[in-house]
Amino acid sequence: MIDYLIIGSGLAGIAFAETALQNQKKIVVIDNNQNVSSTVAAGLYNPVILKRFTAVWNAQEQLLILDGFYKNLELKLNQTFNFKKPILRKFFSIEEQNNWFVAADKTGLSPFLSTKLRTDKFQGIDAPYDYGEVKQTGYVDVVSLLNLYKVYLQDQNFLQTEIFDHDALVLHNEFIQYKDIKAKHIIFAEGFGMHQNPFFKDLPLDGAKGELLIIKAPELSLDVIVNTSVFILPLGNQLFKVGATYNWEDKTNTPTQAGKEELIDRIKEIITCDFEIISHFAGVRPTVKDRKPLVGTHQQYSNVHILNGLGTRGVMLGPAMAKALFENIEQDIPLPPEINIKRFVKKK
């Protein structure tokens, strides 16, 4: 018998898988090909919601866990995934500068927002009002991480690739049985695919479709992440990742002309040089209206659990939420009420 059967191999699934393995647990991960949002994720981590100048919930703790988690994975897989880079907010007016300084004085934001203007002159960007710098930021190369981690799981015989059949799952008091797998617990980390899950489909998971571009801009000289209405992330070799859009109606993973045009318009607001579109991606992020993840145990079945709703902050939330769920199951440490799925069960 294994300890955990994990359904889903996106950021949530591998975060829990690695947390369990580091605690000497036996696992099997089922890659159900439903984690498209992770494979197209920007991979940014940023403790500040710049649109509203508010701190991300529990940001400092999440960053601490994130740092150790990805460091361990880099050692394990012998590749760098976590790239620490400042995020610069380009200002378009004196008023925006003033709003930044007001926000930087707030208790929850002062560790993350620099009070010193960045006056960098980047070739290809006109910024007469300079930049504000967000600290403790960067990005994770999600595609490389997921691909390499799946190879590792496969080499260890921990990975199965199939569409999970919920009807084949048999629950017992002390264990669950799925085909020839017997496990003490099952973790559902299916992302937007949760809507087909009979145990958790009533939870209020929404989907926000996001589209991204990879552009080539030979005249753009940039070694930081620039954020305004979209982000521009340097990838090297004159390539930049740009995103992202938000569409709450379209739940497909198909890139759209409207999404592309919106991103092109936003890029032209930031940079002054020519660029060429190399790639265009889309994915549906699993989001929740209160902007908190869905973590916890089924109210009726004590060995059925969920780790979902990481939204746009998967690389930052994943390690911390996996740790919280693992400690809840193994040590009975209570989940923070903000993320516990009980917050929705009570309202019925």
Domain ranges of the chain: 2-49+142-204+290-345, 86-136+206-286
Q: What percent of the chain has pLDDT over 70?
A: 97
Q: What is the pLDDT of residues 321-345, one digit of tens each?
A: 999 999 999 999 999 999 999 999 7
Which runs of E-coded beta strand occur in the chain?
Answer: 2-7, 27-31, 44-45, 48-49, 54-55, 82-84, 87-90, 131-134, 138-140, 159-161, 169-171, 176-178, 181-188, 205-216, 225-227, 231-236, 239-243, 276-288, 294-297, 304-308
pLDDT of 346 above 60: no
- Which residues sit opposite 186 in a β-bridge? 5, 304
Answer positive or negative: Cα dihedral of 67, 117, 267, 53: positive
- Could you give the CA distance from residue 209 to residue 262 in angstroms, rounded to a whole number? 14
- Could you give the CA distance from residue 232 to residue 267 in angstroms, rounded to a whole number? 8
C-alpha angle 242-246-247 in degrees, rounded to nearest 5: 135
- Could you give the CA distance from residue 5 to residue 184 in angstroms, rounded to a whole number? 8
Q: Any residues with CB less than 8 A from the CB of 204 and at least 6 apart, and which?
A: 288, 289, 344
Instruction: Report the range out of 33-42, 283-292, 305-314, 323-332 with the highest average pLDDT.
Output: 323-332
Give the pLDDT of residue 348.
Answer: 41
Please identify, in words, the CATH class of the domain defined by 2-49+142-204+290-345: alpha beta
Q: What is the pLDDT of residues 99-151, one digit of tens each?
A: 999 999 998 899 999 999 999 999 999 999 999 999 999 999 999 999 999 99
Q: Is the peptide bond before 244 cis (omega within 30 degrees of 0)?
A: yes
Give the pLDDT of residue 39.
Answer: 66
Is it true that 2-49+142-204+290-345 and 86-136+206-286 share their CATH fold? no
On whether the 86-136+206-286 domain is CATH 3.30.9.10, my answer is: yes
